[in-house]
Amino acid sequence: MKWFTAWRRRPWAGYAVVLAALAIIGVAYAGVSSGADRAQASDTKASAQDVAKGKELFNQQCSSCHGANAQGTRNAPSLIGVGAASVDFQVSTGRMPAANYTGAQIPRKKRTLNDEQTRQLAAYIASLGGGPPVPSGDQVDPANGDSALGGKLFRANCAQCHNFAGSGGALTGGKYAPPLDKATPTQIYEAMLTGPQAMPVFNDTTVTPAQKRAIIAYVTQTRTEPNPGGSGLGRIGPVAEGLAGWLFGIGLMVVAAMWLTARKPSKKTRND
Amino acid sequence: MTDNNENSDAPLDEEGRVPKRVIGTPPPVGTQELLPRKEPGEGSSGYVLDEKKARSAERVAAAFFTLTFLAGIAFIVFYAVWPGHVGNIHRAARSNYTLGTALTLVFVGLAVGMTIWVRHLVTTKEIVQERHAISSTPEDRETFNKYFQEGTQESGLIQRRLLRRTLLLAAAPLGLLPLVLLRDLGPLPEKKLRHTAWKNGTRLVVDGTGQPLKAADFNSPGGIITVVPEGAENDLDEIATAAVLLLNLPVDKLKIKKGRENWNVGGIVAYSKICTHVGCPAALYEQTTHHILCPCHQSTFDALNSAKVIFGPAARPLPQLPISVDSEGYLIATSDFKEPVGPSFWERGRPKA
């Protein structure tokens, strides 16, 4: 430990420790935020051919967990009656096929099935027992939505979990409400309609399709809002701002104070 | 310690100086010192500047002062050219950036320049300033004691026991008077904390749109929506206490408390949205576990079991609003909440306050 004691006594050791701590925190923060893919669903008429191809895909990709006839097993729920909207949401966000994921909840990831395959799979599941269809392009067009109304509804019913700017948040037992920055308008609509995982359901008779479109308009417009105060810090509110202020602001002030009060290195008194 | 205040009684070291000691650090006993002790400046001649280094330090400090000058000019220019109060929010953002950056440079330049000046160009000699005991001189203390003793003797406070005791008695209620006055500091909250805008027959309307809700429309399992009393949907003071989280729960899993058999409509239940801990909106409902989480302090309520607290600091379950349907099929409240909503307050448990 002698080398450490010697190192510790160097004049720059204090600065090095503070700066290293700041750097570690910065890297850790950068590691938390990660990127993912983007997906867009299409909606066209389901033909018998699509259903047949979808069944084939289902047998290959899904049946090991959801059962040979989508009736559900111990590991996965029944898919009868969940509808095309649910399939499109789960597959286009890459959540399904989940491939033996063992966390608190299944995360958004790079999708493995393309638009065509997703449509076929959705057609097959819809043929088993109906359920909500994939919304049309007009139903989810943010340009036609009333974002002021959407903001009201979002703050009353969505913001508690997804944050006022759609940045997501923590739930119980390791579950979380995902950030909405990568969700497409179609996926937002489908999520409200079907309630994936822990999310509650907002059916069309409670929150009408026009109101859903308003919420989509609010969510998508919020992404493009400028941050007049500088960095948005993930828009997760005063916690991030306080953390940045305390760690970085006060860290820099500590370094400055150390520099101000440091003894002037003088060679003149070295003769003792 | 002596009472000698003419000279400090701290032990002098061999060089005749009082050892310096920073408050909060252990005293320098023997060789156990935190920092190697530096000698003060050579004798009383002060620190001699290396003229070459001083010249370069002067130049650096001057450069920072020039930066301050330029940034000050830039601030005025930015303010004149890009005023933030005209145009849209983007212009305001740009104005904030430019003005903030310029002002930062003004102060940083000034501070850094002055620090370099002080650290590299000021020649000060270190001096030792002796500290003296704070206590008064023994003569002063002696005199004060004498006068005090004489005064008490002359006043008769010692001999006149009755007088002394009645004086103490007279003073006692005086200390209690402010406590009594505390009662009248501001109006009492009356019954506002006990009642909300809900009453028998009030329709549940969706917060944000004001549309009434039919039980048949709110029919998806795992559904939630925030509702407020009809007629008060735009009154923020009323909504602050009357906001309700409406849930569609699986009726077969619902554990209905005795006396609450008629409070739900086929699995549709209504709980106060205001956490019983400190009043945050508790509405993070997970349809997989049927838990309602409050984001502020992680109080968790079991929606299936009368919103019983299963985790966190909340003291009571979320109050449940008794609901039913009217003749047109719309969801209505059948009464107000049966208990005060929100956090505890002093008189909460008092039956008829």
| 3-class secondary structure per residue, chain A | CHHHHHHHCCCCHHHHHHHHHHHHHHHHHHHHCCCCCCCCCCCCCCCHHHHHHHHHHHHHHCHHHHCCCCCCCCCCCCCCCCHHHHHHHHHHCCCCCCCCCCCCCCCCCCCCCCHHHHHHHHHHHHHHHCCCCCCCCCCCCHHHCCHHHHHHHHHHHCHHHHCCCCCCEECHHHCEECCCCCCCHHHHHHHHHHCCCCCCECCCCCCCHHHHHHHHHHHHHHHCCCCCCCCCHHHCCHHHHHHHHHHHHHHHHHHHHHHHHCCCCCCHHHHC
Q: Which residues of B touch A263 (CB under 8 A)?
A: 38
Percent residues over pLDDT 90 in chain B: 50
> Does A268 contact chain B (CB < 8 Å)?
yes
Distance CA A182, CA A167 (A): 10
Tokens, residue A225: 């809002």
> Which residues, 6+ apart, have CB-to-CB distance to B49 below 8 Å?
B121, B123
Q: How far is CA B316 from the centre of its chain?
A: 25
The ipTM of this complex is 0.74
Question: What pLDDT, on a 0 to 100 scale, did the predictor assign at position B271?
Answer: 95
Structural contact between residues B325 and B331, judged by C-beta atoms closer than 8 angstroms: yes
Pick the residue from chain B with its C-alpha nearest to A161.
B284
Q: Which residues of A touch B213 (CB under 8 A)?
A: 206
Distance CA B14, CA B116 (A): 35
> Does B28 contact chain A (CB < 8 Å)?
no
Question: What pLDDT, on a 0 to 100 scale, did the predictor assign at position B33?
Answer: 52
For residues B170-196, give the mean pLDDT. 82
Residue in the structure block whose two tokens are 């994921």: A101
Angle between helices A185-194 and A209-223 (to 10 degrees): 130
> Does B123 contact chain A (CB < 8 Å)?
no
> Does A202 contact chain B (CB < 8 Å)?
yes
Q: How far is CA B166 from the centre of its chain?
A: 46
Contact assignment for B208 to A152 by CB distance below 8 Å: yes
Option in A153, A198, A259 nearest B286 (CB): A198
Q: B322 phi and psi, to 5 degrees?
A: -70, 125
Contact assignment for B300 to A172 by CB distance below 8 Å: yes
Structural contact between residues A80 and A124, judged by C-beta atoms closer than 8 angstroms: no
For residues B70-93, give the mean pLDDT. 87
> Does A260 contact chain B (CB < 8 Å)?
yes
**Alpha carbon separation from B316 to B88, B151, B344, B349 (Å, rounded):** 48, 62, 9, 12
Structural contact between residues B25 and B34, judged by C-beta atoms closer than 8 angstroms: yes
Measure in Å the smallest separation between the Cα of A49 and chain B Cα atoms. 32
Q: Measuring CA to CA, which residue among A205, A176, A175, A203 is closest to residue A190?
A: A203
Torsion region of B279: left, alpha or beta (phi above 0 gives left; psi -120 to 50 gives alpha)? left
Segment of A209-213, B40-44, B79-83 carrying the highest mean pLDDT: A209-213
For residue B2, pLDDT beyond 60: no
Residue in the structure block whose two tokens are 């023997």: B30
Pick the residue from chain B with its C-alpha nearest to A150.
B208
Q: B298-329, pLDDT tens digit by residue?
A: 999 999 999 999 999 999 999 999 999 999 99
Contact assignment for A269 to B287 by CB distance below 8 Å: no
To the question of pTM greater than 0.80 for the whole model, the response is no
Q: Measuring CA to CA, which residue among A175, A154, A170, A156 is closest to residue A223?
A: A154
Q: B105-132, pLDDT tens digit by residue?
A: 999 999 999 988 888 888 777 788 888 8
Option in A160, A200, A207 nearest B287 (CB): A200
Structural contact between residues B204 and B246, judged by C-beta atoms closer than 8 angstroms: yes
What's the DSSP call for residue B211?
Answer: -
Q: B153-167, pLDDT tens digit by residue?
A: 888 888 888 998 999
For residue B285, pLDDT beyond 70: yes
Distance CA B129, CA B134 (A): 15
Q: Which residues of A touch B219 (CB under 8 A)?
A: 203, 205
Contact assignment for B220 to A173 by CB distance below 8 Å: no
> Does A168 contact chain B (CB < 8 Å)?
no
Low-confidence ranges of chain A (pLDDT < 50): 33-44, 269-272
